Amino acid sequence: QSALTQPRSVSGSPGQSVTISCTGTSSDVGGYNYVSWYQQHPGKAPKLMIYDVSKRPSGVPDRFSGSKSGNTASLTISGLQAEDEADYYCCSYAGSYHRFGGGTKLTVL
């Protein structure tokens, strides 16, 4: 089973918005509303940012939002801040299996 497809990198200036895509199949992203997103700073453990496609855990800024259309999920970060620079991973439930994306490096210019 291959990883979900994410762009290797995205970038944006402070205050701008960026969107990271996560493409799978009807067996994972398209088949379940159980996509989650994780932020990982260098040398740190991943941190949950979005679950169930678009729900935010308490403590996560509302600048982070998630959505899904067909087999592609998206994470949008609005009002970019320097501390948002990190790697981002999507993850989808796939029926007794959890598939992660390959990761996207977000650079804040």
Site string for another protein, 32-71 (x = CB under 8 A): x-x-x-x-----xxxxx--xx----x--------------
The DSSP secondary structure of 18-69, one letter per residue, reads EEEEEE--TTTTTT-S-EEEEEE-TTS--EEEEBTTTB--TTS-TTEEEEEE
At 108, list the tokens: 């804040």
Under the binding rule (CB under 8 A), the answer on residue 7 touching another protein is no
Under the binding rule (CB under 8 A), the answer on residue 72 touching another protein is no
Under the binding rule (CB under 8 A), the answer on residue 102 touching another protein is yes
Q: Between 53 and 77, whose beta carbon lies closer to another protein? A: 53
Q: Between 17 and 98, whose beta carbon lies closer to another protein? A: 98
Q: Between 10 and 93, whose beta carbon lies closer to another protein? A: 93
Please tell me whether residue 84 adopts helix, strand or coil conformation. helix
At 85, list the tokens: 């620079």
